[in-house]
């Protein structure tokens, strides 16, 4: 099985570029509304069109794309291991520095731009993956399954604990929190930072009990796939991709529907938690279906252009992730236009796709001239303790320069 490194990397980068779009569609909802995620109706999401947009966002995007991103993080971890082996350099110190640098970037991102940052969690989980890298594939697979099952069961138990009366009291308090946050985010840049710190103190447990276990499970799955080189030559695994696609849809769609349905009702927070528990169980399957479907599309003659379109954005995914947050912060917060609380979900879709189109155009322009995205270059310099050349060399080998955000 002989595949050029550049071809293999383009496939991974194209998937990562696709994941960036889905992450943006979800994250922009937090920038646009302080009601998002509180289990209460958003005044800007009452019309049928906006409720439909919220439904689509929950059904197609939420809880799926960060899992795909996490899988690719685990897959790229194996590429980093091989790069260290090629260079004859100790792998562990290099990765410790990389994850510490990623954590520092994540802290700055969370405080200044977006309290829903995932980079800090990735840095910590990456350290766990580093410790587990020598365990057998069977152990890693069992651990991934256990993480998904236990997380889903935990939230199913939480859903059973709460009654509608409990949730009504919580909803009343949430209205006050949303109003206070809206005022802060519209006030001054300093108040934006203060509100981010307040939000972080109140939402860290969501990352710890929802996103982190599922992300670690996908790290492990991606690590297993990377060790076996499943993306090294996608055409050799077409039967596998078709099976993953159909089984992923069959197992993932029911959970996605259960999770998205409450967005149409606007008044059933208990069912929100029950839907969350179910989608935590099934979202990895739907994420796998997305990845398998794209891999099949990329292999078609008319699908190769899509891979070529997405790959540059994926090569500088960390820079694009930070740039997306900066654009949203300028559009919605006191750093710029202060649009928070003035546009509904349908409009945020349009804004998200416009930002992503800018990501694609800028990424193509940048990667034609430079070897790394700016954030990737900074992280790489800290990881390798040397200043890598930023300008693209004509025949430079770019095998291990993809972002692992």
CA distance 200 to 193: 10
Query: Which pLDDT belongs to residue 281?
Result: 96
Query: Which pLDDT belongs to residue 3?
Result: 43
| Nearest residue to 329 via CA among 192, 180, 187, 181 | 192
Domain count of the fold of the chain = 1
Most confident segment among 16-25, 231-240, 385-394: 16-25
Chain segment 168-227, per-residue pLDDT in tens = 666 677 888 999 999 999 999 999 999 999 999 988 888 898 999 999 999 999 999 999
Q: Is residue 398 part of a domain?
A: no
Query: Higher-confidence residue: 302 or 72?
Result: 72
CA distance 364 to 315: 10
pLDDT at 39 over 80: no
Check: CB of residue 204 under 8 Å from CB of residue 196: no
Q: How confident is the model at residue 401 (pLDDT cuts 50, 70, 90)?
A: very low
pTM of the model: 0.92
Q: Is residue 150 part of a domain?
A: yes
Burial 157-169 (b: 16+ CB within 10 A, else e): eebeeeeeeebee
Instruction: Find the angle CA(172)-CA(173)-CA(178) to the nearest 5 degrees.
Output: 100
Q: Is residue 396 part of a domain?
A: no
| Nearest residue to 294 via CA among 307, 308, 283 | 307
Q: Is residue 394 part of a domain?
A: no
Q: Is residue 399 part of a domain?
A: no
Percentage of the chain with pLDDT > 70?
91
The residue with tokens 């069961």 is 153
pLDDT at 228 over 70: yes
Q: Is residue 391 part of a domain?
A: no
Q: How far is CA 42 from CA 24, 63, 375, in A?
A: 19, 20, 35
CA distance 297 to 330: 35
Q: Is residue 401 part of a domain?
A: no
Check: CB of residue 41 under 8 Å from CB of residue 192: no
| Residues 6+ away with beta carbon under 8 Å from 302 | none
Q: Is residue 299 part of a domain?
A: yes
pLDDT at 37 over 90: no
Q: How far is CA 187 from CA 36, 37, 142, 201, 334, in A?
A: 19, 22, 49, 20, 6
Q: Is 55 exposed, middle or buried (0-12, 13-18, 19+ CB in 10 A)?
A: middle
Chain segment 359-375, per-residue pLDDT in tens = 999 999 999 999 999 99
Check: CB of residue 333 under 8 Å from CB of residue 192: yes
Over residues 104-117, the mean pLDDT reads 96
What range does the domain containing 213 cover? 5-384
Q: How confident is the model at residue 356 (pLDDT cuts 50, 70, 90)?
A: very high
Query: Higher-confidence residue: 240 or 268?
Result: 240
């Amino acid at each position: 099985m002989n595949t050029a490194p550049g071809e293999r990397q383009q496939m991974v980068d194209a998937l990562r570029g696709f994941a960036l779009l889905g992450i943006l569609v979800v994250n922009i909802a937090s920038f646009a509304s302080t009601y998002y995620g509180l289990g209460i109706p958003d005044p800007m999401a009452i019309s049928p069109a906006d409720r439909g947009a919220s439904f689509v966002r929950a059904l197609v995007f939420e809880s799926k794309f960060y899992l795909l991103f996490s899988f690719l993080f685990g897959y790229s971890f194996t590429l980093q291991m091989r790069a260290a082996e090629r260079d004859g350099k100790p792998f562990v110190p290099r990765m410790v520095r990389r994850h510490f640098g990623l954590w520092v970037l994540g802290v700055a991102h969370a405080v200044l731009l977006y309290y829903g940052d995932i980079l800090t969690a990735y840095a910590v989980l990456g350290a766990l993956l580093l410790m587990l890298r020598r365990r057998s594939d069977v152990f890693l697979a069992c651990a991934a399954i256990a993480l998904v099952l236990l997380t889903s069961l935990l939230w199913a138990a939480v859903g059973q604990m709460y009654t509608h009366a409990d949730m009504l009291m919580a909803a009343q308090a949430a209205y006050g929190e949303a109003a206070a946050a809206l005022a802060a985010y519209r006030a001054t840049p300093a108040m934006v930072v203060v509100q981010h710190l307040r939000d972080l103190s109140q939402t860290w447990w969501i990352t710890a009990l929802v996103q982190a276990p599922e992300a670690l499970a996908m790290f492990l799955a991606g690590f297993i796939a990377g060790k076996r080189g499943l993306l090294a030559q996608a055409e050799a695994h077409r039967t596998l991709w078709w099976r993953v696609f159909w089984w992923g849809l069959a197992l993932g769609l029911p959970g996605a529907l259960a999770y998205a349905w409450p967005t149409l009702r606007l008044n059933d927070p208990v069912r929100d938690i029950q839907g969350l528990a179910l989608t935590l169980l099934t979202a990895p399957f739907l994420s796998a279906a997305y990845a398998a479907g794209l891999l099949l599309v990329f292999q078609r003659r008319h699908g190769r252009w899509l891979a070529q379109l997405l790959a540059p954005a994926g090569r500088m995914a960390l820079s694009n992730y930070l740039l997306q947050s900066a654009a949203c912060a300028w559009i919605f917060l006191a750093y710029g236009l202060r649009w928070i609380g003035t546009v509904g979900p349908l409009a945020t879709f349009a804004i998200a796709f416009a930002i992503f189109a800018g990501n694609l155009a800028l990424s193509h322009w940048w990667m034609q001239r430079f070897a790394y995205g700016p954030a990737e270059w900074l992280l790489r310099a800290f990881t390798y303790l040397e200043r890598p050349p930023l300008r693209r060399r004509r025949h430079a080998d770019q095998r291990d320069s993809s972002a692992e955000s």
